[in-house]
Amino acid sequence: MGYLRKIADLRKDEAVITGGKAANLGELTQNGFPVPEGFNVTGPALDYLCEANNLMPRILQVLGTMDFEDYQDIEAKSDSIRSMITEATIPRDLLEEMKREIASLREPGGDDPFVAVRSSVSVKDSDITSFPGMMDTYHFIKGEAQIIEQIRNCWASLYTARAIYRRHQQGIGQDKGVIAPLVQRMVNADVAGVLFTANPITSNRGEVVIEANWGLGESLVSGEAIVDYFVVSRTDPMQITVKKVMRKNIMVTIDRETGVGRKKYPLTGNRVTDCTLTDEQLFELADMGLRIETVFGVPQDVEWAYEDGVLYLLQARKIKSLKG
């Protein structure tokens, strides 16, 4: 078996190989949820790259000299580690496998589609399957050369200063991290956001909480964006109990100047004040969230997006903040 696998072939119990994000998306694909198609560069691929280039002894040597009381030292040494990975020679068989999978995303006789290259992580010898916000994601990437470059960058993000420091804080060995990049067809979102199948603030299991903004959901990640906020009760029938339509300020979408990558733009006109979601979409999202919760058996933190009115599922993981 090779180092790359279709998302549709993955299962939730394979996170140690595929990372938590990919494993869950594979499980959801097999359960009929609308997950963008693509493939997973499994964790052993980076191990193979490091072995072929004798990188791990050099990486561990740099890590062994790192002063965790000096952030500038962490930053400088993490840069050197990432350079080792981005400049390493990809073994021929792994490179050819990447090229085949990238080509498989292209429609016969069609152009290269835009894709997203997203991190999927886990920790060896542990039940940890996510490090939210620690690794890198790249949007609106097109063509073989760009995709391979961003897979390299995604691998290297296992050793950002923030990721290294977080593992140090949590007592996780620096050689235990697993990163398994996902390459998926890009959802050019008109509106996107997150939903929680239980209230993450109050731990109320009777509420579905939804946050939404125009464009990509990355505008919510930084906390800089002002977003719409909704609560849907889990009663039968469901009811919208809170609808806060805010004066929204920014959105993230394709870089209009270069035609690749993402960029933040200020919102103007009706988008500042218009509601991002219809009532029908709120009920559709809440229903999807509850069905996802059934698959995994615990309340879920879900990332989603609408493109041309079609709902796509981008991530699902356990809500970690619930009490009781």
- Alpha-carbon separation of residue 174 from 57, 123, 166 (angstroms): 12, 10, 10
For residue 277, what are its two tokens?
């979601």
What's the distance, CA 316 to chain centroid?
Answer: 10
What tens-digit pLDDT sequence spans the chain (324 residues)? Answer: 599 999 999 999 999 999 999 999 999 999 999 999 999 999 999 999 999 999 999 999 999 999 999 999 999 999 999 999 999 999 999 999 999 999 999 988 778 999 999 999 988 766 655 555 556 789 999 999 999 999 999 999 999 999 999 889 888 888 888 999 999 999 999 999 999 999 999 999 999 999 999 999 999 987 889 999 999 999 999 999 999 999 999 999 999 999 899 999 999 999 999 999 999 999 999 999 999 999 999 999 999 999 999 999 999 999 988 886
Q: What pLDDT was estimated at residue 134? A: 56
Q: Which residues pair with 101 in a beta bridge?
A: none
Domains contained in the chain, CATH given: 4-185 (3.30.1490.20), 191-318 (3.30.470.20)
**Quick one: pLDDT at residue 100?**
96
Residue that is written with structure tokens 């952030």 in the block: 71
What are the pLDDT digits (tens) for 180-209? 999 999 999 999 999 999 999 999 999 999
Give 261's contacts (C-beta < 8 A, 6+ positions apart): 138, 139, 140, 141, 254, 255
The pLDDT tens digits of the residues spanning 251-265 come to: 999 999 998 999 999
Distance CA 214, CA 193 (A): 9
